[in-house]
Copies of this chain bind each other. A is one copy, B any other.
Amino acid sequence: MSDLVARAEKIARAEKLDAADELAHQRERFVLDDVVYLDGNSLGALPANVPGRVEDVVRRQWGELRIRSWDESGWWTAPERIGDRIAPLVGAAPGQIVVGDSTSVNVFKALVAAVRMAGEDRDEILVDATTFPTDGYIAESAARLTGRTLRPVTPAEVPGALSGRTAAVLLNHVDYRTGRLHDLPSLTSAIHAVGAIAVWDLCHSAGALPVGLDEHGVDLAVGCTYKYLNGGPGSPAYLYVRSTLQDRFDSPLPGWNSHADPFGMRTDYAPAPGALRGRVGTPDILSMLALEAALEVWDEVSVQAVRAKSLALTDFFLECVASYVPQGVVESLTPSAHEERGSQVALRCGNAGDVMKRLIERGVVGDFRHPDVLRFGFTPLYVGFGDVERAARVLGEVLGPLSR
């Protein structure tokens, strides 16, 4: 009986929260069904304006204008134009972001360039030991190619590990597994205090919470666009190079798109000024212009509003889970303090792979991370409080019998 009362209370709360939600109507801008989609931290849902835009890019820009579109449809300048569209979402003034390549490739550019900025006498690169693996693999390659030593440390260990030997530090703003938000301002300050270069991976924070790249003096940053930015599967990543460092950005991938005079077809390389020197080869237009359409939602939404709702959603989810799931069956890996939480909740759970399968069968889509983590991502643009209550309830239904 008390279960029913608790549930009625949660449902009533969800209804009130949804009714007061100023972002609620943004859901109409996405293609959704009756599934509770809590995997936007892996692949954002389809924005409703994207299919029409892509069709125009394919049929008219490519099919009719063909080669003329490089100028007439703005293809050539898309990497920096779309970079400027992402800039306000991560607290960057225009002219510091270019879009293109994968996150892995951008990590490589950023880290090799960072080591070169730091100078010859600094022989160590620090990398988040709990990072999404690709950052660690690429950091190892960057260290090997630049003759530096890679030292994996947890973000908490970074301040103690920094020294005059540190060339660069690669950190994640939000941990992909636990959803923990790291303290970008203070870590960046600590890195700068020893004269090293701070490189941040924003994959799990951009579009979910304020980043403040300019404000906090971040040197270099990378991020993907297919999570909270809803750019589509494998949509191009981006690279931020702080304006004051752009003249010193010496790319290990100096493709012709980063040349000061790309159509001069010169034998000698001369880097373009500004963020453009982060470009490499010919930009991937279909994916890039799908992303550009997906970003239009931000014309009327602020990151601050998104962050406020995100915290309310994850708070409410943790509360519902505590109420619906028998005690001791799951353990939240996501910090309860707001200042340490991204926009996902990670629950450690026995048989997590099977549990996620059952959730998905019952219309609640999160994902499973080896070996024992259930991840639930909350995209405030299209997830509501009713969704949250339902997800936690279904989780309780799936786990309840299992735990008896």
A interface vs B, CB < 8 Å? 31, 33, 37, 39, 42-43, 45-46, 50-51, 54-55, 58-59, 61-64, 66-67, 69-70, 75, 101-105, 108, 112, 129, 132-134, 136-138, 140-141, 145-146, 152, 177, 224, 226, 232-237, 251-257, 259, 263-267, 269, 280-288, 290, 365, 367, 369-370
Contacts and interface: CB of A to CB of B under 8 A. Distances in A.
Contact of A133 (B103, B146, B267): B267
Contacts of A101: 101-102, 105, 281
13 contacts: A43-B70, A45-B63, A46-B62, A54-B286, A61-B233, A69-B233, A104-B256, A108-B253, A133-B269, A134-B255, A137-B255, A140-B269, A145-B145
Contacts of A224: 282
B55 A51 contact: yes
A263 B363 CA distance: 23
Contacts of A70: 43, 233
Contact of A287 (B64, B69, B146, B286): B286
A102 B43 contact: no
Contact of A141 (B55, B134, B253): B253
Number of copies: 2
A67 B367 CA distance: 9
A283 B58 contact: no
A12 B303 CA distance: 67
A105 B288 CA distance: 17
Given A46-B62, A133-B256, A233-B284, 8 more contacts: A46-B58, A101-B102, A105-B255, A105-B281, A134-B256, A232-B286, A284-B284, A286-B290
Contacts of A63: 31, 45-46, 51
A75 B42 CA distance: 14
A132 B266 CA distance: 9
Contacts of A234: 75, 282-286, 288
A113 to B, nearest CB: 11
A293 B288 CA distance: 19
B134 A103 contact: no
Contacts of A286: 54, 232-235, 286-287, 290
Contact of A58 (B54, B62, B104, B367): B54
Contact of A64 (B33, B112, B285): B33
B67 A255 contact: no
Contact of A253 (B54, B105, B232, B269): B105
B282 A67 contact: no
Contacts of A55: 51, 54-55
B141 A62 contact: no
Contacts of A177: 265
B290 A58 contact: yes
Contacts of A140: 254, 269
A154 B295 CA distance: 46
Contacts of A138: 253-255
A226 B282 contact: yes
A63 B288 CA distance: 17
A52 to B, nearest CB: 10
Contacts of A132: 256, 265
Contacts of A134: 255-257, 281
Nearest to A288: B234
A280 B66 contact: no
Contacts of A64: 31, 33
